[in-house]
């Protein structure tokens, strides 16, 4: 079963529901209606998204696809993961999502703002004890780890933050319930989990 479609360079791509391969269908040009199955490749740790995540949210940024995986079938309490797929070499890189508040786990939506390097992540909270039913985050996309011109070098697992300044920034978290302080500040960081980012 194929799902989670996106369009890139006049081709329609759909993920294999239980794997990381892609169905590719040409939608224009001389090869219109040509169908291919494309493999994707793991990062330097031989790692790629787990195929037991029930849902994916996709955000296409030029030649980069951000994939937010959530609701793992075999481990319902497993936290979501954020991955980057480079669409040229079809290579995965895991991005570490650090958030000092709860991660959206259900009915998640990831969308980019029009004409701005900003995205919004919204979804129901995965913690039953949370006083807020859902969370909304504003995310900057002007970070080196989500750009195509990045070189990755091996680094020890003990690294807590990247050598290059993968931007740490304040984002707005908007409470969806009535509160005396409906606008709270939280912080979010993206960085490549096992790598040092070096701009070319």
> Where is pLDDT greater, at 41 or 191?
41
Give residue-wise pLDDT tens across range 137-171: 888 888 777 765 433 333 333 222 222 233 333 34
Indicate whether 9 pLDDT > 70: yes
Please tell me the predicted confidence (pLDDT) of residue 177: 43
Please tell me the predicted confidence (pLDDT) of residue 24: 95
Paired tokens of 104? 């959206």
% pLDDT > 70, the chain? 71
Please tell me the predicted confidence (pLDDT) of residue 142: 82
Residues 112, 133 contacting (CB under 8 angstroms): no
Residue-by-residue DSSP string for 7-67: EETTEEEEEETTSS-EEEEE-SSTTTT-EEEE--B--TTS----TTEEEEEEEEETTEEEE
- pLDDT band with cut points at 50, 70 and 90 for residue 128: confident
Please tell me the predicted confidence (pLDDT) of residue 18: 76
Please tell me the predicted confidence (pLDDT) of residue 165: 30
- pLDDT band with cut points at 50, 70 and 90 for residue 101: confident
Mean predicted lDDT score pLDDT of the chain: 74
CA dihedral 188, 191, 193, 196 (to 10 degrees): -150
Reduce the DSSP state of residue 158 to 3 states and report it: coil
Give residue-wise pLDDT tens across range 21-47: 999 999 998 989 999 999 999 987 778
> What are the two backbone dihedrals, phi and then psi, of residue 156, each rounded to the nearest 5 degrees?
-60, 155
Sign of CA dihedral 27, 32, 34, 38: negative
Tokens 């931007």 map to which residue?
Answer: 167
Other CB atoms within 10 Å distance of the CB of residue 165: 11
């Amino acid at each position: 079963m194929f799902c989670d479609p996106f369009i890139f360079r006049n081709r329609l791509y759909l993920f294999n529901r239980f794997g990381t391969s892609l169905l590719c269908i040409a939608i224009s040009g001389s090869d219109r209606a040509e169908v291919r199955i494309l493999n994707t490749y793991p990062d330097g740790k031989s790692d790629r998204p787990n195929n037991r995540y029930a849902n994916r949210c996709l955000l296409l940024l030029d030649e980069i696809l951000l994939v937010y995986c959530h609701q793992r079938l075999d481990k319902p309490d497993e936290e979501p993961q954020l991955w980057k797929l480079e669409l040229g070499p079809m290579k995965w890189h895991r991005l570490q999502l650090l958030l000092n508040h709860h991660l959206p786990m259900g009915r998640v939506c990831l969308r980019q703002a029009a004409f701005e390097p900003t995205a919004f992540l919204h979804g129901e909270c995965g913690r039953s004890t949370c006083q807020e039913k859902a969370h909304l985050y504003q995310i900057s996309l002007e970070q080196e780890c989500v750009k195509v011109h990045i070189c990755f070098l091996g680094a020890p697992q003990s690294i807590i933050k990247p050598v290059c300044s993968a931007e740490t920034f304040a984002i707005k978290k908007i409470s969806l319930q009535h509160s005396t302080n409906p606008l709270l500040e939280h912080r979010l960081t993206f960085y490549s989990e096992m790598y040092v980012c070096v701009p070319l």
